[in-house]
Structure 1
């Protein structure tokens, strides 16, 4: 159960762009940014100021609209990074720092005393500039709970507004992630943000568990893009919260398919047809039992209506189709169907579907029906069906 107010923060333009091999142009970043604003996203992590160059150009343009959303600049745990973001005009900054011994010792060559000192120093510096300060506990899955609690206490005392619990390599379960959230909340009133990677396909489950445990903020990316296996998908989180938890985030869900399509085209990565919420097959029906049920009642085999997300229902013909959907598709082609011919038509449809290894397009179905009708002697070869 989620009773607290929760806030979706999109990081498509930061963590999403860190997808290996992906680089957005300024124009592309601004197009995605505009689409996010239009659908109602009000917290956005748009990039990394210290990168300079085209990144700075894009961030400056986005900051012209900073009254429409809180823009959070991502920074390493380095003062110069934070200064770069502040110089551009950001009113919210995030400081990325690891808390696991694995990352501290093997990646940075530092210890936990250094970490708490650095975190405290940077938080106080940023707070002196009167900005919203978010800070990470990166690799939280390999961070012992007692130290995580010590760290949470230290960053809270230093004045941080938010603690991001980053399952950096996606190794946590819903139970262990929720435990980390509860452990922080038991020692501090700091707002907690969920940042869950999808290496085991658990990013959405972990995020929901974190929110149930009391987290306030959570990260998403459009189409679930991001490093390695990516991040929680914006559309999936939005609809899961709306339909399964009764929480409306203020997102225009009717634009979710259009947004997913935009990012798919921008990343040059086809959207899987079975992608939850926005995939082309989400509202497609082939199976005889399913299609027959849907033709009688549109709520039979769909969890919500396609127009809620900007999708489109389709009835398709293939190996598993039954007479009802074959008749429906033929009628859509303007045919007055002779039901006595449906068994033979269906037999041919199934054989052809196996032969081609896919669906039977409506024009091919029409040709099959015409051939069967002609061979049955019910119509002369030159007669229109």
Structure 2
């Protein structure tokens, strides 16, 4: 018996020395830019309620002030003089940015100026707002103005083509709540980034098409008066509670907020394609999809919804390949959707990628393009597993 005990102790000692390697799951950490370049900055004052008087069993977390309700999308647009000082914007009536660029700079942001920029897009019913810069209150006002005029002109298909290193958290949440009620598709194309507070904008889109970088890190409390770690964490907990509530109502996983807490603000964690899918930041917005399914079932029928779901699964499997640029991703989807009967004769405007359709009776992918990494053509049958199963 003593000999067996000795052998057992030796085995346990050896096992203790052989610690498993940490699992990183392909996590990529980069150096983040300075707060002047973007970031996830919170400046809005917060109120942290005092701890309970029972010091024998202090609460694990501070009592938080109630979350402010989301700003209603029905509010009137403020048309007071506006100038973009933290970014640049342009309007295009075309989605083929490779061949046709990003349109004309949006120089005048009053009602007449925005209407003049969007008027040529009324005939095709599609407008693309290209924005490059920080997420600020100016950005939110820009999106509101473009949305309101697009509504006036009957432009129902809107694409926000964004390239941003982040900015103000509160401004991003306010703009995101407006975007969530305004039917925007959001692009992060190759060479572009959506970091820090920009992720809140990304989460608000009805559909997200991503070929660039998406990254997160810890929120910076620039206006904090905290003098201890506990005081700073109490303030941040209020902010993160607001962030979590925002992510939840817009269909993204609240785990994104937890991930942000774990990444120093001087660093940046780039989300992988699998993580973007897992956390509800890529493709069709889960929250909007629930609403659309009910509406489309009544309007377009059960068969339409079934084919739409099958297309979405096939698109994820066949078009979303590593290092695919957004132009090729769109072309792949345009060719693939004909295999599932889209655009649909009954509901052409509700069909996947309908923003590309000038004439809903016909479908042609962008000219002189391959239709994605696997060169999918309209005649190629769906691979096994692409349909309903």
Normalised TM-score (structure 2) = 0.29
From the two aligned structures, give the one with the greater helix fraction.
1
Higher relative contact order (CA 8 A, sep 6+): 2
